[in-house]
Amino acid sequence: MVLAKRMQTLSESLTIAISSKAKEMKAAGIDVISLSAGEPDFDTPVTIKNSVKEALDKGCSKYTPVPGTAEVLKAISAKFERDNGLKYEPSQIITNVGAKHSLFNVFQALVDEGDEVIIPSPYWVSYPEIVKFCGGKPVFIETNESTEFKITPQQLKDAITPKTKILSLNHPTNPTGSVYTRDEIAALGEVLKGTDIIITSDEIYEKLVYDVEFVSVASVSQDLFNRTVTINGLSKCGAMPGWRFGYIASPINELNAAMKKLQSQSTSNISSIVQAGAIPSLLGKTDDDIERMRREYQSRRDIAVNLINEIDGLSVDSPKGAFYLFVNCSKVEPDSMKFCQDMLLKANVATVPGVGFGMDGYFRISFATDIGSIKKAIARIAEFVKTYK
């Protein structure tokens, strides 16, 4: 048997591979603490659970239109207006099986062989893989701590070529927690003026920001609205990762029609029950739960940042969003894969090597786990670093 050529360059998601390995070790009786997965430890809010029960009782078990039911699309449209000041018609919205599926669909619909997709680095592991799978070429813009891991307008200008099709943005950013200000977004938008470049803006961590305002990319100017495809979902802020609820919105109706056609030949509609269950969250009825979780993440962040910075050889800046610390370990070990593998085997702490996000000399820890485990894990990391050879 010979697999399709497009499978030969596709790698498995490193974040998923490591968290699965940690789960396997735990099942084998090893006392592993996993700070690897970007998965909220909080349970889904009770309002959502009740709404699913109701949906089941009402017999909500039929196929729905491919993009989603009229109710869920209206609820998403209302969410964009309420949270982001964005006006998308329900017909400009499509629900997907998680935001990863949203990204997969938009890249499939837009990227041709040889098209370039600009990706700020460090990046979330799946972006370059999906782009390559579609035949595209990821073009990375390297960032570092000096700009809080954010790209500058000049860097963007320098990265654009006649082949550039998409600028792939994600903020709050996985893995660095960067959050762009309104002015920074506007300045990037200025560089794109007069071009046909589309922005994909992955805003899945939008509500997890600390001491700063979140600004949706499409909301900054009419020009940005016209060229932006906004991607969001309930896995992170809604504490619903296993539900697989993502969505995509854009005013580019030709693109929307293409993505609906593509989805009509793959998943069809996403689960009817999940759509019904998600509605209260989209209507803001779980905002108190989300705020409670956000505050808890913030307090964990503060504790974890202090503890990491007390370790000789490691350093981290406090992230403004999401639930990750991107820790500099280059003074101890520049080879992040080796460092994280050793840490998993010797200290039994699972983290993700920076190389998977395009930046060696760093590793990512997730603070979407209880504070007791975070403290215990960082104490183990401290001991591991002290004796590291």
Distance CA 177, CA 319 (A): 5
Distance CA 258, CA 254 (A): 6
Min. distance of Cβ 350 from ligand GLU in angstroms?
11
Query: Among residue numbers 172 through 201, which ones bind ligand PMP (CB under 6 A)?
Result: 174
Can you tell me which of 69, 170, 178, 366 binds ligand PMP, judged by CB under 6 A?
Answer: 170
Can you tell me which of 100, 300, 320, 364 binds ligand PMP, judged by CB under 6 A?
Answer: 100
Indicate if the alpha-carbon torsion angle 77, 79, 82, 83 is positive or negative.
Answer: negative
Contacts to ligand GLU by CB under 6 A:
13, 15-16, 37-39, 100, 124-126, 174
Tokens of 178: 């960067």
Overall size of the chain counted in residues:
389
**Minimal CB distance to ligand GLU: which residue?**
38
Q: Are strands 349-350 and 324-328 parallel, antiparallel or unpaired?
A: unpaired
**Minimal CB distance to ligand PMP: which residue?**
98
Query: Among residue numbers 23 through 42, which ones bind ligand PMP (CB under 6 A)?
Result: 38
Stretch that binds ligand PMP, among 49-57, 65-73, 97-105, 302-310 (CB under 6 A): 97-105
Min. distance of Cβ 63 from ligand GLU in angstroms?
27
Q: Which does 204 bind (CB under 5 to 8 A by kind): ligand GLU, ligand PMP, none?
A: ligand PMP
Stretch that binds ligand PMP, among 93-101, 185-193, 212-220, 334-342 (CB under 6 A): 93-101
Q: Is 206 in the site for ligand PMP (CB under 6 A)?
A: no
Min. distance of Cβ 127 from ligand GLU in angstroms?
11
Select 124 or 384, whichever has its Cβ closest to ligand GLU.
Answer: 124
Contact 139, 148 (CB under 8 A): no
Min. distance of Cβ 15 from ligand PMP in angstroms?
7
Min. distance of Cβ 306 from ligand PMP in angstroms?
25
Select 324 or 339, whichever has its Cβ closest to ligand PMP.
Answer: 324
Select 220 or 377, whichever has its Cβ closest to ligand GLU.
Answer: 377
Site of interaction with ligand PMP (CB under 6 A): 38, 98-100, 124, 170, 174, 202, 204, 233, 235, 241, 246
